Structure 1
């Protein structure tokens, strides 16, 4: 089974790119972030015509998350996180798909930092970590994947000295990610590629993709029941080179079927 996460950066504006990639790679489960579309504007029919069932949580102009599944039933189990009833952003959706609990997230960017947006980022991270800890109690395979807007280490960013004040790389963000993984999760990319420089995002400016000046901010965290089924992990980085594409590339894992 192949599971993929992809910050599509506008599901309608990038729909031709998304459909082309789905046709080429045919992943079994897909987590999308940054839909930038209200609930009623999600391209459900186009996704269905491509062979995928879908659940989604849209939001006008910004945010938005979705889970797609090819030839698999999706049973939604949660949308949003507990702990802040005033937080109406569409940043988390969770479902039971193919025998796996799949959490799809779009963690806040947090810039400029310090400031209210960074405070919200850390608060959201704390709420998410609390939920993640509860998921570890499940006697089921669990994957938490998406755009974490977190650069774990200096090895995960081109010229880290340029990012020291950015919300994605500030010590508080790296510590939050480290503590999350430390609950008992496995960073799938790093488990299989511990010494390889891998990026998942390249800015649109200054020919970042051409220079390979990237970041690793899209992650797969696996609980022990799923980690022992992990076979492969990688990035479809060529998709970032397509015309009118997202600034992120799809990131994927392959797991052993039971």
Structure 2
């Protein structure tokens, strides 16, 4: 079974890339984030092409911002459209999580709040939201939480830690919240598969040619409980989907359970062509 997660940064804009990617990579379960569509608009644009490919879907959207979905061709049962106890930002319950049982796994697609800056109200909201995500896990063994976590787990997961000292994504409270989630019995399967690789990024800012220099961050994660984590045959970042015209600023993360469909390939496929030298580890 192949599971993938991808922050598409607008499903409608990315549709000419998303559908061919589904055909090429052939995933069984896909977690999407930042669809930026209402439920009605998502169905209008995607219901038919997804059905043609054998996918059911559950989507939670707002319209202009946020939005998450699960696509599945191995079952889609017991759908939950929000996290229990999820906080609001202002008076808005944002579209940031959807959960369903797919192929015997309890899968949650998440788009964790960005946090903006450590002194912004959005940062406190981010930590509250992460606490609700942690509390939502009732059976860690069969849980998969996949999506844009907006947290780089360690300094190895950013191209230059010094660049991020005044920003979110790397602060101790965020990383502690992520560690508490993992501490429930979940495994960061990409890092577990490739513990000694520094340059495993999933996001590259559109500005300043950062993708071409491979100046990125690893903020899109697949966290899996003992059952799926013990079945991982391959785990990698599909960097090819970030190349070319009109890409998202994120690349998909792909995890194969039981069988490595494309072989046990490297952590980033294809590898960067002109990476800028990284500073030494601290």
TM-score by length of structure 1 reads: 0.93
State the 1:47 CA deviation: 2.2
Q: Which residue of 2 aligns with 1:41?
A: 41
Q: Which residue of 2 aligns with 1:230?
A: 232
Q: Which residue of 2 aligns with 1:185?
A: 186
**SS at structure 1 position matched to 2:30:** strand
Q: Which residue of 2 aligns with 1:135?
A: 139
Mapped contact 1:19–1:50 kept (Cα < 8 A): no
* Mapping 1:73-112, distance limit 5 Å: 73-83=75-85, 84=87, 87-112=92-117
* Mapping 1:1-258, distance limit 5 Å: 1-42=1-42, 43=45, 44-70=47-73, 72-83=74-85, 84=87, 87-132=92-137, 134-136=138-140, 141-196=142-197, 197-256=199-258
> For 2:64 and 2:176, how far apart are their aligned partners in 1?
30
**SS at structure 2 position matched to 1:31:** strand
RMSD: 1.4
State the 1:242 CA deviation: 2.3
How many residue pairs are counted as aligned between the two chains?
252
Larger strand fraction of residues: 1
> For 1:254 and 1:87, how far apart are their aligned partners in 2?
36
TM-score by length of structure 2 reads: 0.86
Structure 2 stretches of 5 or more lacking a match?
260-282
Mapped contact 2:149–2:219 kept (Cα < 8 A): yes
> For 1:182 and 1:101, how far apart are their aligned partners in 2?
17
Q: Which runs of 4+ in 1 moved over 3 A?
A: 84-87
State the 1:95 CA deviation: 0.6
State the 1:51 CA deviation: 3.3
